Structure 1
Amino acid sequence: MKRHSLLTLLRQHTPFDAEEHKMWLDTIQFVEQNPDCFERWLAIGHITGSAWIVNETQTSVLLMHHRKLDKWFQPGGHADGESDILQVALKEAREETGLEIINVLDTNIFDVDVHLIPANVKDPAHYHYDIRFLLQADSQNPLIINSESKDLVWVPLPEVGRYNNSESIMRMVRKVGSK
């Protein structure tokens, strides 16, 4: 079963707070009920993989200014059929930042988030069931902006709220701060 590994990872994850707990439960239910959960064409929503990339001292995080949504987020994207979500997060991180060396700090899930993606010219509104992993990179390595982003920047954790103060982002800031 293609979903087994993700379900195992999800069941091993301990949500940080009540909000993440609800999204965690919703994600488990979504994966259990949708054999095609890794496919972008699944109209109600799909699994995505994200990378919360911290610097060597875990005092800054790498954010990208998303071109389509015009907001600052962590790198990440669609699984496109791939069931190894950690590999999805790593692939997206490399593609969206230009970083070649990105270290996995933990193979366990770092964060689970469910968010609505607004309708656009190609797709109706749908949900992303985002599985996030804690990664690390050398903040001195050059960054390469691709067509999906307007900018990339290392942001000190206390300043992340100036870029994106959504609960989804701020929860990950608090998680790094609590380690």
Structure 2
Amino acid sequence: MLLNNCSALVTDDIINQQSMKSISIPYAGLYSPTNERDRVNAVSLLNLIQNHEDAFCRSRIQGHVTASAFVVNPAHSHVILTNHAKLDCWLQLGGHCDGERDPLAVAQREAREESGLTDIRVARPEIFDIDIHQIPEHHDTPAHQHYDIRYLLVAEMSEPLRPSVESHDLAWVPLSRLAYYTDKPSVLVLSHKLETL
């Protein structure tokens, strides 16, 4: 069932009326765009969720909602990155929703499973970031888009990290060295977003 009574796209007028104020994303929470990239991604995500019942299912091959977590230390000076085994690059923790329409819960679960940490807390329940990116073809799965809803979580650095089978390695990465680990704008956005809190 669609969330609205028609399949019309969310118009720019709706978002423009809210300007850069908080936007309510169904199932995911409030999101406060800080720039045009944020606004465009919010519109695209709203359109996906409102017009596709299977938006949270990976079986929707064209593209689907995923959830991830920027897990930072309390001082916001370090973030956990995983050297993703399948994609072979350093990314934040996260994964598929597989039909679950609670991306915050998915982000928390994935963060625990992929880091091995037991004490991970929600820093703020609002959406921290929305990123839409292309996932390359892999074996029998064609290239597709991830509409990634990201949350900010917090953990202490004293508990040891334990990589899962989905990871080559895990590291607490100083934000000052983030660009040494990755050149992906979808990860580098963390530094800018933390400055806006």
Shorter chain as denominator, the TM-score bin is over 0.9
CA displacement at 1:6 relative to structure 2:
4.6
CA distance in 1, matches of 2:2, 2:73: 33
Q: Aligned with 2:45: secondary structure? A: helix
CA displacement at 1:14 relative to structure 2:
1.4
Partner of 2:189: 171
Pairs within 5 Å for 1:17-96:
17-96=35-114
Partner of 1:97: 115
Q: Aligned with 2:192: secondary structure? A: helix
Structure 2 unaligned blocks of 5 or more: 5-23
CA displacement at 1:80 relative to structure 2:
0.5
Is the Cα contact below 8 Å between 1:6 and 1:85 reproduced in 2? no
Partner of 2:177: 159
**Is structure 2 residue 165 aligned with structure 1 residue 147?**
yes
Is the Cα contact below 8 Å between 1:67 and 1:150 reproduced in 2? yes
2:109 corresponds to which letter in structure 1? K
Aligned-pair identity in percent equals: 40
CA displacement at 1:170 relative to structure 2:
1.5
Is the Cα contact below 8 Å between 2:2 and 2:52 reproduced in 1? no
CA displacement at 1:165 relative to structure 2:
2.3
2:26 corresponds to which letter in structure 1? L
Task: Describe the superposition over 1:142-168 as per-residue Cα deviations: whole angstroms up to 9, x where unpaired.
Answer: 111111000110111111011112221
1:7 corresponds to which letter in structure 2? P
TM superposition score normalised by structure 1: 0.93
**Is structure 2 residue 126 aligned with structure 1 residue 116?**
no
Q: What is the number of residues matched between the two proteins?
A: 178
CA displacement at 1:9 relative to structure 2:
4.1
2:189 corresponds to which letter in structure 1? R
The structure 1 segments of at least 4 consecutive aligned residues displaced by more than 4 Å after TM superposition are 1-6
Higher relative contact order (CA 8 A, sep 6+): 1
RMSD: 1.8
Structure 1 unaligned blocks of 5 or more: none
Is the Cα contact below 8 Å between 1:61 and 1:156 reproduced in 2? yes
1:146 corresponds to which letter in structure 2? S
Cα distance change on mapping 1:141 and 1:42 into 2, 3 Å: same
Q: Aligned with 1:122: secondary structure? A: coil
Is the Cα contact below 8 Å between 1:56 and 1:137 reproduced in 2? yes
CA displacement at 1:122 relative to structure 2:
2.5
CA distance in 1, matches of 2:63, 2:181: 26
CA distance in 2, matches of 1:152, 1:177: 24
Q: If each structure's helix is expressed as a fraction of its own residues, which one has the higher value?
A: 1
Task: Describe the superposition over 1:89-147 as per-residue Cα deviations: whole angstroms up to 9, x where unpaired.
Answer: 00100110001110001111000000011111121111100000000001110111111
Is the Cα contact below 8 Å between 1:64 and 1:153 reproduced in 2? yes
2:156 corresponds to which letter in structure 1? D
CA distance in 1, matches of 2:195, 2:173: 14
